Amino acid sequence: MNNELYNMIFKRKSFHLFRNIGNESISVDEVEQIEAVYQTLMPLCPEIKTAIRVVPVVETSCKRGQQLCILLYSEKKDHYLQNIGYIGEQLDLYLVSQNIGTLWFGIGKTSEASYEGLDFVIMIAISKIDDEKKFRKDMYKSKRKSVDEIWLGETVDGVSDIIRFAPSACNTQPWIVEHKDAALNVYRYKKPGKRGIMPVDKVSYFNQIDMGIFLCFLDLCLQHESIPYEVQLFTDQGSEKEKTLNAVYKLSTEENRESFAR
């Protein structure tokens, strides 16, 4: 993935309300560029068909002061929610690089429930921001779980302390990484009795999208740190278990590469 996306991790923030953002608007050319860039993004599961539509506010139920909404559509297959989160977060970070503010809006609805044979999954509200200073000034001041809460085992420099800033529905941060035997086991984590303000029947749905966003952050961090890896995905059926395995990352560090050579 484009390393510029990694840099945008430190700048992005969720604009829960688009206020005091100036009078600039997203141009027709910028909309066309968004649609073109989407075609270049790396999916988590290339076999799953997806699409986007960039639409006016009136075509959605989202009323956060945004200028436009991006509707994300997908085939419904194993991993489709994680895949949308993974691609959508790349798009999110690209938009930040263009000084376009974003908000993953989970409860938004549209009358266009299908597009090109694909089903609507989620939307991202967007608006042009007139000043870069209105984005995140210090990512480390944002409210996130500590490394100890999301990471078990030896930490990885440049990875463990960055991935925890991935956005998630209602800031639930539904993930735990277990570092064991040169592998990262990535789980969707559901703390017993905790779901935030989400309807109980939607928690798993949105948290699977969150896991795709998290895997995007994880990939960007590993690639930025030049740590080779292979990924194996595991099907998440949306169970209510406390921990559901979503992916295993087999790391190829300098130390174990040397051991392989001996």
pLDDT digits 0-9 by tens, 36-72: 999 999 999 999 999 999 999 999 999 999 999 999 9
Percent of the chain with pLDDT over 90: 86
Mean pLDDT computed over 5-16: 96
Q: Which residues contact 53 (CB under 8 A, 6 or more apart)?
A: 70, 71, 73, 112, 115
Mean pLDDT computed over 237-254: 91
The CATH code of the domain at 143-261 is 3.40.109.30
Tokens, residue 209: 């999208």
Q: Where are the alpha helices (DSSP H) in 56-163?
A: 80-97, 147-150
The full set of domain ranges for the chain reads 3-134, 143-261
Mean pLDDT computed over 161-170: 94
DSSP 8-state secondary structure symbol assigned to residue 43: P
Would you place residue 3 in the very low, low, confident or very high pLDDT band (cuts 50, 70, 90)?
confident
Which of these ranges, 95-109, 163-177, 246-260, has the smallest mean pLDDT?
Answer: 246-260
Question: What is the structure's pLDDT at 257?
Answer: 44
b/e code 174-208 from CB counts within 10 Å (16+ = b)? bbbbebeeebbbbbbbbeeeebeebeeeebbbbbb
Would you place residue 88 in the very low, low, confident or very high pLDDT band (cuts 50, 70, 90)?
very high
Residues linked to residue 185 through DSSP beta bridges, in sequence order = 178, 248
The CATH architecture annotation of domain 3-134 reads 3-Layer(aba) Sandwich (3.40)
Q: Are the C-beta atoms of 219 and 233 separated by less than 8 Å?
A: no
On the question of pLDDT at 151 being above 80, the answer is yes
What are φ and ψ of residue 18, in 5° steps?
-95, 90
How far is 42 from 85, CA to CA, in rounded Å? 12
On the question of pLDDT at 99 being above 60, the answer is yes
Q: What is the dihedral of CA 120, 122, 61, 197, to 10 degrees?
A: 130
Question: What is the structure's pLDDT at 96?
Answer: 98
- Are 3-134 and 143-261 in the same CATH fold? yes
On the question of pLDDT at 196 being above 70, the answer is no
Percent of the chain with pLDDT over 70: 94
Q: Are the C-beta atoms of 82 and 53 separated by less than 8 Å?
A: no
Question: What is the structure's pLDDT at 80?
Answer: 98
Question: What is the structure's pLDDT at 258?
Answer: 45
Tokens, residue 258: 């040397």
Number of alpha carbons in the 13 Å side-chain half-sphere of residue 152: 12
**Pairing label, strands 151-152, 175-180:** parallel
Distances 47 to 66, 102, 224 between C-alpha atoms, Å:
32, 27, 26
Which of these ranges, 196-205, 215-224, 251-260, has the smallest mean pLDDT?
Answer: 251-260
- The rounded mean pLDDT for the chain is 93
